[in-house]
Amino acid sequence: MAKVEDTPENFKICMQKNCNTCPSFPRGKGEGLYCARGASQQPVEKKGCNCPECPLWIDAGLSRMYYCVPS
């Protein structure tokens, strides 16, 4: 299974280019990079997903969306 590494560099990419601008981003303090760290601890209302536009998602060959939502 493809995976994004949980690194400070990837978190920065995530917050600058993807999760921070996502309409569903739950805005939990210190949260983001859900594809590496797991779902949010905050409630999430699905309003759209930026995952398919993320360079980390693309490079890792991921296929799911809404990594912020607990499954």
**Domain residue limits, the chain:** 8-60
Spatial contact of 7 and 37, defined as CB atoms under 8 Å apart? no
Least Cα distance to 25 among 38, 15, 10 occurs for 15
Tokens of 61: 């060959």
Place of tokens 């569903």: 24
- How deeply is 28 buried, as exposed, middle or buried, from its count of CB atoms within 10 A (0-12, 13-18, 19+)? middle
Residue 9, CA distances (Å) to 32, 41, 48 in order: 12, 22, 25
Stretch 3-14: mean pLDDT, rounded? Answer: 94
Give the tens place of pLDDT for each residue, 38-60.
Answer: 999 989 999 999 999 999 999 99
The pLDDT mean for the chain works out to: 90
Which pTM does this prediction carry?
Answer: 0.87
pLDDT-derived band of residue 30, with 50, 70 and 90 as boundaries?
A: confident
